[in-house]
Amino acid sequence: MRKRWIAAAVALVVLLAPGVAYAQARGDDGLLLRAGGNVTLAADETVETLIVLDGNALILGTARDVIVIGGDVELTDARVDNLFVASGNATLSGSTVIAEDVRIVDGELTRGAGVSVQGSVIEGGEVGLGVAFGVISVLIYLGITVAVIVLGLAIAAVAGRQATAAGRAITEETAQVVLAAAVLVIAVPIAGVAALATVIGIPTGLMVLVMVLPAVAVIGYVVAGIRLGQIVLGRARSETASGDGAHPYLAALVGIGLLQAVGWLPVIGFLVAAIASAAGAGGLGLLAWRAFRARPAAAAPAMVSEGVGVAT
């Protein structure tokens, strides 16, 4: 039952942050993280920290810290400083050396004759599982926060004016933004699913559902964060008037940071994040629609002017 709970929690983390689900540095010092699958550390590979969530690990190489939650781990001729296993079994064989401690929570330890554990071996208990999973969840969320803030700073650098304009639309043209958000959140997914009904439309439908909508949601979240930061700093109108709003770096840092802080709260955080994403996406959609409608109107006078010039 406990493993199922871990698997469900890990799956939720993976769905919310697919970019964090599997990041590894092969053969170099760093972090090797695997969520929802098995991993093997070869004999010639070295990592600082190996974390496996809801999967099994085979360790043949060298690692400073090994953490396995919801799976089994086997160490053969490995060199590890610390080993922590929760809701899984650990098998140590060959000439494996554990330089410091081994901690097993809700699992069993099998230790071969040639294995050397130079620190303590602690088995049993269930409190450590919640603590370990909580720590890992915090680290993953902090990683997501850093990634979103970096994205926000990048958008502030290359499209600061557009992001500011879309953010202002959220509070100054709320009705239009809600309508645009409804189109993006309801109509576009329906169109994407409908496209899957035909062979020709499958690639388009998949692109809309898997790539376009998630990207719009994330960028919309950033736009809402920038707007929130401007409101908190009281700089939305002054920046726009002075021209300094082209690169709202501080607003992005403050606003996204606040959204991420609220996002950690259960239920409320999810609702706030969903509303922020929809609002920001609606603001972007409204600006895009107005830009699309403005093109024909701008092109018509230019064509008339060119015709008059030729006639003259």
Give pLDDT tens digits for 92-101. 999 999 999 9
Identify which has the larger pLDDT, 74 or 200: 74
Q: Is the pLDDT of residue 5 over 80?
A: no
Distance linking the first and last C-alpha atoms of the chain: 85
Residue 58, SS3 per DSSP: strand
Handedness of CA 197, 200, 202, 204 (dihedral sign): negative
Which residues lie closer than 8 Å to 178 by C-beta, 6 or more apart?
A: 282
Confidence tier at 29 by pLDDT (50, 70, 90): low
Residue 248, SS3 per DSSP: coil
Give the pLDDT score at 105.
Answer: 84
Distances 178 to 160, 169, 247, 253, 277 between C-alpha atoms, Å: 22, 10, 26, 25, 12
Q: Is the pLDDT of residue 228 over 90?
A: yes
Here the contacts of 179-185 (C-beta below 8 Å, separation 24 or greater) are 179/282, 180/281, 180/282, 180/283, 180/285, 180/286, 180/289, 181/278, 181/279, 181/281, 181/282, 181/285, 182/282, 183/285, 184/213, 184/216, 184/278, 184/281, 184/282, 184/285, 185/278, 185/281
Confidence tier at 301 by pLDDT (50, 70, 90): low
Q: Is the pTM of this model over 0.85?
A: no
Give the 3-state secondary structure percentages of the chain, helix then strand then coil, rounded to 5. 60, 20, 20
Average pLDDT (235-254) is 67
- Percentage of residues in the chain with pLDDT exceeding 90? 42
Identify which has the larger pLDDT, 138 or 44: 44
Confidence tier at 125 by pLDDT (50, 70, 90): low
Give the pLDDT score at 107.
Answer: 87
Give the pLDDT score at 170.
Answer: 92
H helix or E strand, kind and range, residue 4 = helix 2-16
Which pairing describes strands 46-53 and 62-69: parallel, antiparallel, or unpaired? parallel
Question: Pick from 224, 189, 194, 182: which is nearest to 210 by CA?
Answer: 189
Distances 241 to 160, 167, 237 between C-alpha atoms, Å: 14, 15, 6
> CA 76 to CA 78: how far, in whole Å?
5
Identify which has the larger pLDDT, 272 or 201: 272
Give the start-end residues of each E strand in 119-246. Answer: 121-123
> CA 48 to CA 52: how far, in whole Å?
14
Q: What are phi and psi of 295, to 5 degrees?
A: -60, -50
